[in-house]
Amino acid sequence: MHFTVIHYIFIVIFFLIFGLLGLLCQNEKNKKTRVSLIVVSFVIAFIGLLVSLLILDKYTKKGKLVSYNTSRDYNREAVIITGNIKNQGKFKISYCTLDIKIVNKVTRKKGSVFKYKTSSVNDLFKSRGYTKNFLKDSVRAIENLKPRLTKSFRVSVKIPSSFQNPRYFFHLVCH
């Protein structure tokens, strides 16, 4: 995680909160109770710090998938995804992960509703007529993207040869 100025401000604030809670615990006369109060205040401050840093990271690191192109590599049974990611925020992005969902277009057969059975019962018993018609994968697309810049990427994802006309869905997560 790449820290920004805002992250450091929150770290200082939570250390001050822990220090204040520690000072308030010093008034306790029983030593065991005082130690337990200090430990509890540390745990509360630490959990609050982690949650706030994760929330800050989500709102300060803003990446956008500007464009993409897909091509099929039949030799390796993979799809190659190329594109551009833009940093729309004011802070440096350490890395971006591209979550990819590939769904095979379901074709109709004469006399049946769908070619592929998608029932959960078939998932349990893996019958012979069952073919999985979607695939999920997550790949690291880029690293070290400065503010307001665009960087290109190229990733490869293995897909089954039975996917004839796939559709692609992307979700970009930056840290």
Whole-number pLDDT of residue 124:
56
pLDDT at 163: 86
What integer pLDDT is reported at residue 155 of this predicted model?
Answer: 94
Give the pLDDT confidence score for residue 161 in this predicted structure: 84
Q: What is the pLDDT of residue 121?
A: 53
Task: Determine the pLDDT at residue 1.
Answer: 58
Sheet holding 166-174, edge to edge: 134-145, 93-104, 166-174
Question: What confidence score (pLDDT) does residue 53 get?
Answer: 86
pLDDT of residue 109: 60
DSSP 129: T
pLDDT for res 137: 93
Residue type, 101: K
Q: Rounded to whole angstroms, how far apart are CA atoms 12 and 31? A: 28
CA distances 31 to 28, 34, 35, 157, Å, are 7, 5, 6, 59
Enumerate long-range contacts of 127-133, CB under 8 Å, 24 or more apart: 131/162, 132/160, 133/103, 133/104, 133/106
| pLDDT average per 10 residues of sequence, the chain (175 residues) | 81 90 86 89 89 86 92 92 94 92 75 53 53 87 92 94 88 90
* Distance from the Cα of residue 125 to its chain's centroid: 31
